[in-house]
Chain A
Amino acid sequence: MEDLIHLEEMFHEYGRLDGIEQGQKSGLLEGKVLGLEKGFDFAKEMGYYIAFSEHWISIVEQNRVAYPERTLKQLNNLLDLCLTFHTENNLNIDPLKLMNNVRGKFKAACSLLKVHYSYSDTQALNF
Chain B
Amino acid sequence: MSDIWEDEDSDYERKMADREWNRLQDQHGVIGYTEGVEEAKEQHLQVGFDDGYSIGASIGLQVGRMQFKLESLLAELKSKQEDKSTEQETKRLQELYTKLKNLKYDQIFTKEWFKNGHENPAELECIVNEYNNLTKNKLFNP
Contact = CB atoms under 8 A, between A and B. Distances in A.
A120 B59 contact: no
B37 A40 contact: no
Interface in A100-127: 117, 119-121
Given A35-B48, A35-B50, A59 B64 contact: no
A16 B57 CA distance: 35
A32 B41 contact: no
Given A28-B48, A35-B51, A50-B61, A19 B32 contact: yes
Nearest to B103: A44
B37 A44 contact: no
Contact of B47 (A21, A26, A28, A38): A28
Contacts of A32: 48-49, 51-52
B41 A88 contact: no
Interface in B5-42: 21, 24-25, 27-42
B106 interface: yes
Contact of A11 (B29, B45, B55, B56): B29
A interface, how many residues as a size bin? Answer: 35 or more
Interface stretch (B66-74, B87-95, B129-137): B66-74
B40 A23 contact: yes
A30 B48 contact: yes
B56 A20 contact: no
B44 interface: yes
Contacts of A80: none
A89 B50 contact: yes
Contacts of B32: 11-19
B72 A47 contact: no
A49 to B, nearest CB: 8
B127 interface: no
A22 interface: yes
A126 to B, nearest CB: 15
Interface of B: 21, 24-25, 27-65, 67-69, 71-72, 101, 103, 105-106, 108-109, 140-142
Interface of A: 7-9, 11-24, 26-52, 55, 59, 87-89, 117, 119-121
